[in-house]
Every structure is written in structure tokens, then in C-alpha cells.
Structure 1
Amino acid sequence: MSQITLVVPFLLPLPQFAPDLVRALQAPALSALLSRTSGQARTAEQAVSALPHESWLARELGLSKEGHPAFAAAAMRGFGLDPLDGTWFIVNPAHVQIARSHSMLGDLRQLGLLDAEGRALFDAARLLCEEIGHPLLYGDAGTWFLRADAWTGIDPATPDTVVGMDLTDFVPRGREALAWRKLQNEVQMAWHAHPVNAAREARRQPSVNSFWLWGGSKGGARSSRQLASIAAPGWISGLSDHIWEGFGKLDSLAGQDALLYVGSLAESAIAADWGSWLMQAQQLESELFAPLHAALTQGRIKTLRIVASSREGLAEFTTTAMAQRKFWRRPTLEALT
């Protein structure tokens, strides 16, 4: 029998919307999993540099450095890249929105960057990086890796922490950060008139006008356990031993200890598109929570732990087949509020 840990970022809606969303969501399986438990824990603290589920994942995978997620080297290996020695960072090409009083990082998921576009922009940036002695390696269209051994004091926040916020509050300061900002400015100028951006603007797509650097780690860093993922950003895919397109492989988790990351709700929640969030959550009920609930009650899964999060906090729910027999506990989604 297996013990499965299911990580679902943004399963907890923002408090002001949660009551209405919970009333609208028809999810009897999820209700039973959250109500008939053998243990619950909830934390409200939020790290400055990461969202609650990102900090949790860094600790779970053994990739936390002084409280900061240090994912770069381990993610590189998932793309078949050898980090060797030194310090590596994740680099995400991005769209920065310029407002009247400040600038904001757009959600990377909404870029829709094609591989050909990513490679063309990467080639332009790589030349600038190599000129100053910083190798830049390609993972996928939106996930690159920069070696910068002297930048060990830089610990920028994760992209999902920064998205929609005033960038002034998150740009690193200090001597080491000055070199990063200079490189960022040079890349921005190289991309400003790039044919990729000209074509994107003609199609009314957001331009790729900057990049975000984060997740620094030493080359020897390795994940301490296996991870499967669905609808995950590139860096999560790099950390994953198994990348699923859908939930058809759920039965393969039976008989093993498994960690499964499901990122289906992230884009809707970050955009505060709660209608879309509700549809995605309803789909998770039928394709994920109901099959897991059935496997649990039938004894094919020994323990199921659900790690749910929002921008503000994180909740863990642990249930077993025995706990699901607590018929006197009325199934409810109140735990999401």
C-alpha cells in the first residue's frame, strides 16, 4: 500500500472569495478527504522570497538554503544539464508591465513562449552573458540557467511571489546585485527591437522585455525524493522524475510512496479569475480527488496527505481508510475557507 502526498497550490482561495466559491463547488470526494482526517495543520506565515507551497516544497525536497528555495542545480539535471561546480540561478524570460508609478512582473504562464521564440531570445542573451563570463544554458523556452559564482549573496524571490507586485520591493540591492541589474538592462535593450518581439506585438501578445533570476544553488544540490507533476511551470518540470499530461497514471502511484504536484489552479488564482478557478477545481474533483478517495476507501492507498495553499498560508490534511469511516463527521469544504 502507498502513502501519497498531493501538493495543490492555490486550492485555498483568498478569504474574501472563499465562502462563495465553497458554496458553488460541488466536490463530495474532496469534502470527505478534508473533513474525515487523522490530522490537520495550518500555517499562516509567509516567507518574503517564496510562496508557502514553494517553501514547503523546498524543505520537502531538501533544496532550501537559509530559508530560500535553492532549486536551480536540481532543476538543471531534469533538463539533462550538468551543473558541475559553482552557483547557478534559474532565469525566466518575462514581461514587465510598466504602470504610472511602478512596474510589475506578469504571470510567466501567460507568455505562451514557443520553443523557437525562446531559443532566439536565448541566443541573444547568451552572447551578453558570456561576454562577462557567465555561461547561460537552455532548459526550455521559459527556463534557462545562469552560472554566477560571485552572486552568492543574491536571493531574489520566486516569480509567483513577485507577480503583480511592485518590483521595487523585490529587486535585490547591494554590490553583487548591481552586476545583475546591469546585465538585465543590457538584455532588455537587446530584446527591445528583436524580431521575436516585433512578431509577438503584431499578434497582440505580450513582449518578452526582461527576465527574472532566482533559485540560486550550488552545483552539488540534489533533490532528496522523487516528484511527479501535472500542469507545472518549467522549473517544477525540471525537478520532476515524471511529468504527466493528465491523471490517467494515478493508478501507478498505488504501492509506492509518491509526491505529486498539481498546478492546474495557479494561473486562475493569480489572475483572480475565480470563475475559471471554479471550473478547474470542479475538474480536479472528478479526475483527481474522486479517484483518490475511491483508492483510499478500497485500501489501495494507505495514507493520503493533501497540501493546499494560498498566497497567505498553507494547510495540510492527512487521511486514511480508517479515517474515512468516521461517518459522524459531515463532509464539508469549510476547511478551504
Structure 2
Amino acid sequence: MASTTVVLPFALPPAELAPELSRNLQAPALAALLSRNSLLKKHSPAEDGRLLPHEAWLERELGGLAAAVMQGFGLAPAQGYWFIVHPVHIQLARNHLVLADSRRLLLDEADARVLFDLAKPFFDELVWGDANTWFMRADSWRDLDTASPDAAMGSNLADWMPEGATALAFKKLQNEIQMLWHEHPVNEARQYHGLAPVNSFWMWGGASVPASQPASTHSIAVASWPAAGPAGAPPSWLAALGPPGKQAAPGEAGTLVLPHLIPMGAGNDWGAWLGAMQQLEADWFAPLLAALRDGSTGELTLILTGREGWTEIRTSKSALRKFWRAQNLKNLSQ
């Protein structure tokens, strides 16, 4: 029988909001999966929190993110040390700089290609993934401690810049790219049409190639999501971790990532989060519960994450028989 792990980024809302959100969520299948378990374990995030818990979990499982994401884009990078790179908008908020939500950048491929081609000569090696996700090789920057864009978003940027012996070299490169893109016709046209200028880049997820644990050794599927709404779509780097063209299905063996809640959780849009959770109940939680009950899935592990940590819950057909345990959503809390 299949053993399935389901990763649910931002399934855990902030502690102060969890009780009210749980009261307004009609999710009996999820309640059964959370309550009638054989294992419940809460985990704290790393002290500096420069990766969100779901990002840190995936990084550990894959043995590094950059190499795995590159493979997901069909790239075969040369041996070396690689980072994920995103074109971004940095804005001024009162007396400090803030990294804006890249999901709202609306950068199309044509504009991204122009900016990519301009920037490429300034890098040792810069490789295209898609409009929002590029990759850079920097073998001498292995010491850099970087933060993911979703972890840094909305906070004082000074607290999230790369740290390490080569941080000044990164800052010099970032300044060069910022000057290169400043007032470029691409950005002038974007601003004319009411779009934010692409005025910098962000790098993170550094990993050696070959990675210590290549992505090809893992069975990871990333579920597709509906067309992007006001909150935007989950990041394309995450989508690339799933095999191209593979349609994830409830109950199949391996690791399944459900990214539907990321835009709402990262953007603190908890009303939209509630609606997305309600849809997940119908599309995923109810079928997962049915797969356990009919025996097609032998064991299900849920990895529920928030900003402040993550919870591991394991259940099975026999655990579901624990009728004395009330079915509720109290485990949707950090």
C-alpha cells in the first residue's frame, strides 16, 4: 500500500487568528485527518528563519534547492555552486527598503528577456529558467547565508540581505544591476502602464552541483492550482520541483506539495485563505481520507507549515478508528 506525504505550506495561520479561522472552516475530512492520528509532532523553525518552514523542509529533503529547481526546469547545470535568482521590485517604506511581493510583479517573458540579457555579462554564469526564475553560478560565494524572497517580503530589507565574508561582493553586483536597469525603457514602459519597475534581483537557495541528494532520487509532485487570483500564483520555482507534465493525485505514493495557500499566507490575506482551504477540503482532503479508508493509501503524513514552525501529523486506516477522539481543527495552530 502507498505511503503518502502531503506538504501544506501556510496551512497553519498565526496563533491569534487560528481559532476564528477554524470556527469558520467547514472541513470534516481535514478534521478527521488531523485528530485521529498515530503521530503528532510540532517543530520549531531555525533561529534566524531565513527560509520559511516549508522551504527549509524541501531544502533538507532535496539536499539543496537551486540544483533541484534547475533540474525541474530541464537544465543540466555545470558543476559548481548555484543560486536561484528572481527579478524583483524593491520599494521605499517610510525610512527603510522593502522587498515587494513578486507574485504581483506581472513580469512577462519579453520584458524579462531584455533585462536578463542586459544583466548576463555581469555574472560569471546566468541561466534562464522562466520570466521570474533565473539561476546564477558563484563558486566563491558558498559562504553566503541568504534568505528566501517570501521570508524577506514586507520587512526591513536590511535584516534580510545575504550575510557572510563575500556579502560586499554581492552588494556590489546588486548595485551594478540596479543602475543598469534604472530608467531602462522596459521599466519606463512598465511604469507608464501602472506596473512596478523591476529594479533589482534577489538570490537565495544556494546549492552545490551535483547536489548531495539529487532531486531525481525523490518522488515529488506539485499539485496544479487554479488561475491566479488577486493574491497571485505560487512561485514558479516550486512548480518546477514536480516532474513535467505529471498530474498529482490524492493517495499516490511519494511526496505531494499543495501550494494553493502560499499567495494568501505570504500576503496575509486570510479571507482568501479560508476560501482556498474550503476548496482543498473538496479536492484533496476528502479524497485523501477516502484513500485511507479504502486501503489504497496505507499511511498518510501531513506536513503543515506556517511562519513560526511546522507540524507533522501521521495517520492510517487503523488510527482513523480512534472514535473516542473528537474530530476538530484544533491542530491548525502553531
Query: What is the TM-score with the length of structure 2 in the denominator?
Result: 0.91
Percent identity, aligned pairs only? 46
3-state secondary structure, aligned to 2:277: helix
1:243 deviates by 5.8
The one-letter code matched in structure 2 to 1:217 is A
Partner of 2:237: 235
Partner Cα separation in structure 2 for residue 59 and residue 72 of structure 1: 12
Tell me if 1:142 matches 2:135: no
Alignment gaps of 5+ in structure 1: 64-69
1:250 to 1:239, Cα distance in 2 relative to 1, 3 A:
closer
* Offset at residue 202 of structure 1 (A): 2.2
After TM superposition, the structure 1 = structure 2 runs for residues 10-89 of structure 1, keeping only pairs within 5 Å, are: 10-48=10-48, 49-61=50-62, 63=63, 70-89=64-83
Q: Which runs of 5+ in 2 are unaligned?
A: 226-233
Range that drifts further, 80-89 or 229-238 = 229-238
Match of 2:202 in 1: 212
1:283 alignment counterpart = 279
Counterpart-to-counterpart distance in 2, 1:242 and 1:287:
21
Letter of the 1:237 counterpart:
A
Confirm whether residue 265 of structure 1 aligns to residue 255 of structure 2. Answer: no
Partner of 1:250: 249
Aligned residues: 320
Please state if 1:109 is matched with 2:103: yes
Paired residues of 1:47 and 1:55 also in contact (CA < 8 A): no
Instruction: State how far apart, in whole Å, the 1-side matches of 2:83 and 2:9 are.
Output: 23
Gap change, CA 1:225 and 1:111, over 3 Å in 2: same
1:138-175 Cα distance to aligned partner (Å, 9 max, x none): 00111111111111111211111111111111213455
Amino acid at match of 2:153: V
Structure 1 residues 115 and 47, CA, compared in 2 at 3 Å: closer, same or farther?
Answer: farther
8 Å Cα contact 1:228/1:242 also seen in 2: no
Determine the C-alpha separation between the residues in 2 that align with 1:186 and 1:139.
22
What residue number does 2:219 align with? 226
- Give the counterpart of 2:166 among 171, 176, 182: 176
Decide which moves more: 179-188 or 111-120.
111-120
CA distance in 2, matches of 1:280, 1:141: 26
In structure 2, C-alpha distance between the alignment counterparts of 1:175 and 1:7, rounded to whole Å: 34
Contact 1:7-1:307 within 8 A present in 2 as well: yes
State how far apart, in whole Å, the 1-side matches of 2:242 and 2:316 are: 26
Partner of residue 194, structure 1: 184
Please say which of residues 45-54 and 267-276 is displaced more in the overlay: 45-54
Cα RMSD after superposing both structures: 1.7
| CA contact 1:155–1:172 (8 Å) conserved in 2 | yes
Aligned amino acid, residue 35 of structure 1: S
Structure 1 residue ranges (4+ consecutive) displaced by more than 4 angstroms after TM superposition: none
Look up the equivalent residue of 1:182 and give its one-letter code: K
Q: Is the 8 A contact 1:136 1:147 kept in 2?
A: yes
Do the aligned partners of 1:227 and 1:242 also contact (CA within 8 Å) in 2? no
Offset, 1:290: 0.8
